[in-house]
Amino acid sequence: MTAEDNRGIVLASRPTGRPTPGNFRLETVVCPSPAEGQVLLKILYLSLDPYMRGRMSAAKSYAAPVEIGQVMEGGTVAEVLESRHPGFKPGDIVLSHSGWQSHAVANGAQLRKLDPAVAPVTTALGVLGMPGFTAYAGLLTIGQPKPGETVVVAAASGPVGSAVGQIARIKGARAVGIAGGERKCAFIRETFGFDAVIDHSAPDFAAQLAAACPGGIDVYFENVGGKVWDAVFPLLNTFARIPVCGLVAQYNSEGDFEGPDRLPVVMRQVLSKSLTIRGFIQREFVAQRPAFEQEMPRWIAEGALKYKEDIVEGLANAPEAFIGLLEGKNFGKLIIKI
């Protein structure tokens, strides 16, 4: 490979509302040679996740935005082609954060070696990676489900939602999932083993959700916002916990939101029901990481925790796949095979 062979997808312009293919551009990007302590990587898999929508905007957030003309960021699984770091040799498979491109140079200190014999390497981007840890840490640290309680999660066929429901069940709680379309709902019920699943496209969605939660909702793991929130909200029990890890339904919205103003009603319920609403990002829970790395693989090995991947071939298809992700078109953890 020469330094010019690297292809990458850069942010061409910032989206207003829903991203379009024109916000991205596939181009040849320069890949430097590895310096001392670095390795040259061939990217095998790229993770696509909803948080990336935030990086496309200039708005202040917990992370800096991607600059115009920069390669889009993202978690990746890669093969070491060339190593100037004593910990890695060509052929090693590693977890890196190399973004939407075919090759990259990375500091060895920032890589984690993956053992394909322990688990398929793609799981490092999903159930055993950031989405799985988001589910694990948010549910157990903030949600704290107790036996017999009801846990509700949307995007339940996705990597976060599917893990939330299954971990809730492992902890003895009831899991109620929400997803779009009968195909996803059947999978969540049959493979992920949720106690109930509701299709949010049903006209009587809110009534179905209420019927599936006869004892109310004790934990609502919020990863979508929008109309799911409106259906969940009246069902929350006293002392309900609401970990907030995402709001996909509103990521594409800009400017003022139409009234009525729901905030006073929400705050009144926060008060009268002693609710806890807590936003988080998984990396603040580093203390839970060792327990996660011990428990999750064991649950998978025991068959208590299942996962589903949605693998799309080709870097050039990443923009379209990402746009679909924001609309719930993926079915399982969305990964690009480069």
Please, which residue, 42 or 278, has the CB nearer to a second copy?
A: 278
Length of the chain: 338
CA separation for the pair 288, 140 (Å, rounded): 9
Q: Does the footprint of a second copy cover residue 40 (CB under 8 A)?
A: no
Angle at 53 between CA 64 and CA 189, to 5 degrees: 130
Q: Does the footprint of a second copy cover residue 287 (CB under 8 A)?
A: no
Binding-residue pattern over the window 234 to 253 for a second copy, x denoting contact by CB under 8 A: ----xx----xxxx--x--x
CA separation for the pair 252, 18 (Å, rounded): 5
Q: Does the footprint of a second copy cover residue 16 (CB under 8 A)?
A: no
Among 9, 40, 155, 275, binds a second copy (CB under 8 A): 275
Pairing of strands 333-337, 309-313: parallel
Q: Does the footprint of a second copy cover residue 261 (CB under 8 A)?
A: yes
| Window of 116-124, 160-168, 267-275, 328-336 that interacts with a second copy by CB under 8 A | 267-275
User: Which residue bears the tokens 């603040």?
Assistant: 284
Q: Does the footprint of a second copy cover residue 152 (CB under 8 A)?
A: no
CA end-to-end span of the chain, whole Å?
A: 16
Q: Does the footprint of a second copy cover residue 155 (CB under 8 A)?
A: no
| Window of 90-98, 117-125, 268-276, 302-310 that interacts with a second copy by CB under 8 A | 268-276
Among 54, 120, 216, 297, binds a second copy (CB under 8 A): 54
Q: Which two tokens stand for residue 228?
A: 């799911």
CA separation for the pair 170, 174 (Å, rounded): 9
Contact present, 116 and 88 (Cβ < 8 Å) = no
Q: Where along the sequence are the contacts to a second copy (CB under 8 A)? A: 54, 60-62, 222, 225, 229, 238-239, 244-247, 250, 253, 256-281, 284
